[in-house]
Amino acid sequence: MIDKAMNMISMAMKAGKLVSGEFACEQAIKDGSGCLCVIATDASANTKKSFSNSCEFYGIKYIEYGTKESLGHAIGKEYRASIVVCDENLSLSILDKIHG
């Protein structure tokens, strides 16, 4: 089955509207450029807690979806525990596909 949400994540990456990696994601959340934070379901409890806390504090949508491997694969990189989408329309579209 083709995962439409992962396809949207790939499109966000190609459009330059996505950051990945812990430091870049934290920056996007803190500076307000991020719209949606996606955390891998197999990320460590510490990582999940850290990102969910900062997303709640800065008022950014947060969801657990995919694995570190699938998130990394979707953006053409190695394993990624977290990504942040920096475009409101793309983030809404990804959420729509996940909850579809």
The predicted structure's pLDDT at residue 1: 54
The predicted structure's pLDDT at residue 81: 97
Q: Which residues contact 57 (CB under 8 A, 6 or more apart)?
A: none
The predicted structure's pLDDT at residue 100: 83
Question: First-to-last CA distance in the chain?
Answer: 14
Q: Check: CATH 3.30.1330.30 for 4-99?
A: yes
Q: With beta carbons less than 8 A apart as the criterion, state whether 76 and 4 touch.
A: no
Question: Residue 85 pairs with which residues in a beta bridge?
Answer: 18, 36
Q: Provide the residue ranges of all domains of the chain, joining segments of one domain with +.
A: 4-99
Low-confidence ranges of the chain (pLDDT < 70): 1-2
* Verdict on whether the full-model pTM lies above 0.75: yes
